[in-house]
């Protein structure tokens, strides 16, 4: 059955992705018409992730943006191997974008879903710790997180 959800431009492993370590943490970021804030969000995310000291990836999902969001994401992906980009063929809504991101996340530990608009900045999950397939947070209970992958 065709549900109308078609992915275009989804990342597939290239040589650099095959040689890097599997991420422990995946950050899924739905995007819709956010070209101006994407570079700011990515810079802040990278700073926070550097403090965690674990392999990570960011999976951005462009939900049919009409601005240059996809072009900005593709540029970032070309410069940063930890970034993956999924492009939906049209606007399906945030839930479909999150689902697509979760489907493409490769984390062995935990997946966090966060909006790109910086309303909840990446520093809100600085206190996360990942052990095995469980994620826990020592403070900031308002941070958004996806479920740990089933074992």
Query: What's the pLDDT tens digit per position in 1-42?
Result: 444 344 444 443 343 343 357 999 999 999 999 999 999 999
pLDDT of residue 93: 97
Q: What is the mean pLDDT of residues 86-92?
A: 98
Distances (CA, A) of 63 to 41, 49, 91, 127, 151: 17, 24, 5, 29, 29
pLDDT of residue 47: 93
Which pLDDT tens digit goes with each residue over 101-146? 999 999 998 899 999 999 888 887 665 555 544 454 443 333 344 4
Among candidate residues 64, 107, 52, 59, the one with its CA nearest the CA of residue 86: 59
pLDDT of residue 20: 53
pLDDT of residue 120: 84
User: Which DSSP state fits 54?
Assistant: S
d(CA 61, CA 7) in angstroms, rounded, equals: 10
Q: What is the mean pLDDT of residues 58-66?
A: 98
pLDDT of residue 29: 97
What domains lie within the chain, and their CATH numbers?
17-137 (3.90.550.10)
d(CA 58, CA 100) in angstroms, rounded, equals: 13
The H or E element containing residue 25 is strand 25-31
pLDDT of residue 126: 62
Higher-confidence residue: 147 or 130? 130
pLDDT of residue 121: 85
Q: What is the mean pLDDT of residues 93-98?
A: 97
Contact residues for 51 (Cβ-Cβ < 8 A; gap 6+): 126
pLDDT of residue 5: 42
Query: Exposed, middle or buried, 78 (CB in 10 Å: 0-12/13-18/19+)?
Result: exposed
Q: What is the mean pLDDT of residues 68-81?
A: 97
The phi and psi torsions of 110 (rounded to 5 degrees) equal -145, 160
């Amino acid at each position: 059955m065709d549900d109308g959800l078609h992915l275009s431009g989804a990342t597939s492993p290239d040589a650099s992705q095959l040689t890097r370590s599997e991420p422990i943490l995946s950050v899924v970021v739905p995007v819709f018409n956010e070209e101006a804030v994407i570079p700011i969000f990515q810079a802040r995310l990278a700073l926070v992730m550097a403090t965690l000291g674990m392999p990570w990836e960011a999976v951005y999902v462009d939900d049919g943006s009409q601005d240059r969001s996809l072009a900005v994401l593709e540029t970032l992906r070309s410069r940063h191997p930890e970034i993956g980009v999924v492009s939906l063929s049209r606007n399906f809504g945030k839930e479909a974008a999150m689902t697509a991101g979760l489907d493409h996340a490769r984390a062995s530990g935990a997946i966090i879903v966060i909006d790109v608009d910086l309303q909840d900045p990446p520093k809100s999950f600085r206190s996360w710790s990942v052990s095995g397939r469980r994620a826990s947070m020592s403070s900031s209970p308002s941070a958004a997180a996806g479920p740990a992958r089933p074992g």
